[in-house]
Amino acid sequence: MLALKGVVAGYGGFDILHGVDLEVRRGEIVAIVGPNGSGKSTVFKAIYGLIKVRLGEVSFEHQNVTSMQPQDLLRAGIAMVPQLSTIFPSMSVYENLELGMYLVRDKARVKRRINEILDLFPRLAERRGQYAGTLSGGERRALEVGRSLMLNPRMILMDEPSVGLSPILTKNMFEKLRELRTVAGITFLLIEQNARSALELADRGYVIQRGVVSHTGTGLALLGDDEVRRSFLGG
Ligand SMILES: Nc1ncnc2c1ncn2[C@@H]1O[C@H](COP(=O)(O)OP(=O)(O)OP(=O)(O)O)[C@@H](O)[C@H]1O
């Protein structure tokens, strides 16, 4: 569904990614893990047209989308949930969801879609009129995922689903992503600090070190790999 081939990219003429190869198949949950500063977020920025891909190619559903603008990628069916919160705290849950479809003028369609999203997130449905700034960390993250679903993406890039969440909320969030894969057919590419949980959740994983893929395999295989365990999972 998504493929990176030999992607070289970085900042201000300085390469951070030195030829990244990665693929995500339809219906998969794929996790990118690796040490701080290894280039995980830079991979997302390269996919999402936020930095220029200097060499190599990004393709989505067999279409070359290298360095395509974010709004065009969104139209093509890929949404991104960034690491930093993008929720508008002084707007309600409902209004935040509306913003996920601000380009669509058909109010009835927007309302229908919001109701579909609220069916997927019962906790948000109960809080639809509440200011988003008063939501708990887990509810806020759920709202960001819900909003990214507004335009019916087929794939979501999610930068650290667990950021700021306790272990139990992280588990709930991961369960939600699995559910979305099953009920809405969403394919996920995730970045996670929490490598062990991410590899337990994911079908497959990629370990990125110093801007290249050092290991790849099923989540289970990576969890069982001695070197990966020593380097990232605390032995
Ligand atoms: N806008 C930028 N300008 C210059 N250098 C940058 C910029 N953004 C990131 N970098 C550098 O690129 C390298 C990779 O950063 P990146 O954010 O991709 O790592 P990461 O693996 O996502 O790290 P973390 O796990 O800490 O979030 C780092 O050395 C970082 O300092």
Q: Give the pLDDT confidence of 12-32 residue by residue, as tens digits.
A: 989 999 999 999 999 999 999
* Cα(38) to centroid(ligand 1), Å: 7
CA distance 169 to 184: 21
Global confidence as pTM: 0.91
Residue ranges and CATH numbers for the domains of the chain are 2-233 (3.40.50.300)
Pocket-testing residue among 7, 16, 43, 50, ligand 1, by greatest number of atoms within 8 A of Cβ: 16
Question: Is residue 138 scored above 90 in pLDDT?
Answer: no
**Integer Cα distance of 128 and 146 in angstroms:** 12
Q: Tell me: the pLDDT tens digits for 174-198? A: 888 999 999 999 999 999 988 888 9
Average pLDDT of the chain, as a whole number = 92
Q: What ipTM does this complex have?
A: 0.96
Q: Which residues form ligand 1's pocket by a CB distance below 6 Å?
A: 11, 16, 34, 36-42, 193
d(C-alpha 189, C-alpha 199), whole Å: 12
Strands 53-60 and 2-11, sheet pairing: antiparallel
The whole-angstrom separation of Cα 221 and Cα 164 is 28
- Please, which pLDDT band fits residue 234 given cuts at 50, 70 and 90? low
Q: Report, as an integer, the average pLDDT of 157-184.
A: 88
**Residue at token pair 């289970």:** 220
Q: What is the pLDDT of residue 235?
A: 56
Largest CA distance in the chain: 54
By CB atoms closer than 10 A (0-12, 13-18, 19+), residue 32 is buried
